[in-house]
Amino acid sequence: MTVDGLGSITFVNGVLRVQLTTINGEGKIVEAGSIEIPGAKVGDIINGLANASKGIVDKLNESPDGSEEKTKKPSSKSKSKNKTN
């Protein structure tokens, strides 16, 4: 199942229900399924997903030689250009 986004999220009767969405062949957002998490496990599962996704992002940011790539941030300073008339 490919998940492109989240739909409705409800917490009823001690169960967190998360509607998952995807984009179909017509380019429309449609329901892809749902995840139902018992209330007592919500924190563990959300923390587990957050930690796993952080690990994936860290691996994606590593360069082929094993060191982390530093992303260049655009400079907020404007450069002045010399004008000649």
CATH code at position 54? 2.30.31
Q: What pLDDT, in 10s, does the model give residues 18-73?
A: 999 999 999 999 999 999 999 999 999 999 999 999 999 999 998 676 666 555 55
Report if residue 43 sits inside a domain: yes
Report if residue 74 sits inside a domain: no
**Stated pTM of the model:** 0.64
- The pLDDT of residue 2 is 92
Report if residue 21 sits inside a domain: yes
Report if residue 31 sits inside a domain: yes
Task: Give CA–CA dist 23/2, Å, rounded.
Answer: 9
Query: Encoding tokens for residue 3?
Result: 């998940």
Task: Give CA–CA dist 12/69, Å, rounded.
Answer: 44
For residues 15 and 39, the answer to whether their CB atoms sit within 8 Å is yes
Q: What pLDDT, in 10s, does the model give residues 1-18?
A: 999 999 999 999 999 999
Report if residue 51 sits inside a domain: yes
Task: Give CA–CA dist 43/49, Å, rounded.
Answer: 10
Domains contained in the chain, number: 1
**Structural domain boundaries, residue 45:** 5-61
